[in-house]
């Protein structure tokens, strides 16, 4: 290296700058080298807490909003309610229809009342008596026809009356048999189907009434209160946003050169920049593909730049609410893959 024409001070500055550049480059390549077995693997990521958009399954007018933003809620807590009067009325109407269908089915199953059966039996006796009298009259008119005391017209009328009386007897017998046997099986089956439909409608109305109350699905913190009492909401329109307390995840990335050092179930330590507490966790998921599409033709150096997304699951015993959405964290992987008995994603 030639320094002709430069002062001694300038020469020394150039030498120092060259040394710093060489040292920086060496340090960079040292940090980028693949981790050796037995040394900790450090990854960097962000806290990823799941959120739930809570909504009513039924439309209506909001009657009550029980919590504000920032409030902690427990699983099963009543968060909000709709005006339930229309749904109570619909349930009452559906239950009344089910009662009517039940009564109709009971009537068909029991058959006719004893008084109706007695009435049918007496109608048969009356028809038989009339048939007997019609038969006698026919026989008498037929005998008088031979002596000329009766006309053919009278005999024909007596025959017709006899046949009508006999038909009335058969009709009365059929009516008595039907009254004794009860209603047809097909009629009972149709009534059973109508009852089932009415009961299903009543059950649906009951579910709709229950849906006027919005419950917390799990422990969490209200991060958004979208509606206020008096607001009209449509079905599936969000009224709260809930941040779940558990589980707490960490989204991180690992380079291809270190991919073999981790596996689902690998124990890790997680530390945030805002606190000194160390959280325990485990690798719950590793993406089966790189985040960026590889080129068709790539060099060995480019292949080592590929990264894979993974999910860290923080142990529930360590979850204290200090890890918040998006918080940057550092993950230390000490154990080798398979060192823990728990595997797979939670």
Is residue 101 predicted with pLDDT exceeding 80?
A: yes
More confident residue, 228 or 10: 228
CB 40 within 8 A of CB 214: no
CA atoms within 13 A of residue 337's CA, in its CB half-sphere = 11
Report which of 333, 285, 291, 342 is spatially closest to residue 310, judged by C-alpha positions.
285
CB 32 within 8 A of CB 186: no
Is residue 228 predicted with pLDDT exceeding 90?
A: yes
Region 74-87 average pLDDT:
96
Task: For residue range 129-145, list pLDDT tens digits in order.
Answer: 888 888 888 787 777 77
Distances (CA, A) of 65 to 53, 88, 221, 226, 333: 15, 20, 15, 10, 45
- pLDDT on residue 297: 40
Report which of 291, 286, 259 is spatially closest to residue 343, judged by C-alpha positions.
286
Question: Is the fold of 41-48+246-295+303-333 the same as that of 51-83+210-244?
Answer: no
Which two structure tokens, joined as six digits, stand for 172? 């009365």
CB 69 within 8 A of CB 222: yes
CA atoms within 13 A of residue 164's CA, in its CB half-sphere = 9
Q: If pLDDT is split at 50, 70 and 90, which confidence band does 120 have?
A: confident
- pLDDT on residue 94: 97
Give yes or no for a cis peptide into 247 (omega within 30° of 0).
Answer: yes
Distances (CA, A) of 302 to 27, 35, 42, 183, 293: 20, 18, 21, 84, 12
Which two structure tokens, joined as six digits, stand for 224? 């958004």
How large is the angle between the packed helices 152-181 and 114-147, nearest 10 degrees?
Answer: 160
Q: What is the pTM of this model?
A: 0.60
Return the CATH number of the domain spanning residue range 51-83+210-244. 2.40.50.100
CB 337 within 8 A of CB 49: no
Q: Which fold has domain 41-48+246-295+303-333?
A: Elongation Factor Tu (Ef-tu); domain 3 (2.40.30)
Domain ranges of the chain: 41-48+246-295+303-333, 51-83+210-244, 96-203
């Amino acid at each position: 290296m030639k320094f002709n024409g430069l002062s001694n001070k300038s020469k020394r500055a150039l030498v120092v700058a060259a040394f710093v550049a060489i040292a920086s480059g060496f340090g960079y390549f040292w940090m980028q080298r693949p981790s050796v077995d037995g040394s900790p693997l450090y990854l960097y990521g962000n806290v990823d807490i799941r959120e739930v958009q809570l909504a009513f399954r039924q439309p209506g007018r909001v009657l009550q909003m029980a919590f504000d933003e920032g409030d902690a809620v427990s699983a099963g807590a009543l968060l909000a309610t709709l005006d339930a009067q229309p749904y109570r009325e619909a349930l009452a109407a559906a239950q009344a229809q089910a009662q009517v269908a039940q009564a109709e089915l009971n009537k068909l199953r029991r058959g006719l009342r004893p008084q109706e059966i007695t009435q049918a039996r007496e109608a048969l006796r009356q028809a038989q008596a009339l048939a007997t009298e019609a038969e006698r009259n026919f026989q008498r008119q037929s005998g008088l026809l031979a002596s000329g005391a009766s006309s053919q017209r009278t005999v024909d009328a007596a025959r017709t009356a006899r046949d009508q009386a006999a038909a009335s007897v058969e009709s009365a017998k059929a009516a008595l048999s039907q009254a004794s046997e009860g209603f047809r099986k097909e009629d009972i089956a149709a009534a059973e189907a109508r009852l089932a439909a009415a009961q299903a409608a009543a059950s649906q109305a009951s579910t709709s009434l229950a849906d006027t109350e919005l419950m917390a699905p799990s422990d969490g913190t209200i991060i958004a209160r979208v509606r206020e009492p008096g607001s009209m909401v449509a079905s599936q329109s969000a009224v709260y946003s809930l941040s779940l307390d558990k589980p707490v995840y960490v989204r991180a990335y690992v380079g291809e050169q270190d991919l073999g050092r981790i596996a689902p179930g690998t124990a890790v330590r997680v530390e945030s920049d805002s606190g000194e507490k160390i959280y325990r966790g485990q690798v719950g998921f590793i993406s089966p593909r790189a985040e960026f599409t590889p080129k068709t033709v790539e060099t060995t150096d480019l292949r080592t730049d590929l990264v894979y997304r993974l999910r860290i699951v923080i142990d529930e015993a360590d979850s204290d609410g200090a890890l918040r959405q998006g918080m940057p964290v550092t993950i230390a992987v000490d154990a080798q893959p398979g060192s823990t008995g728990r595997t797979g994603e939670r």
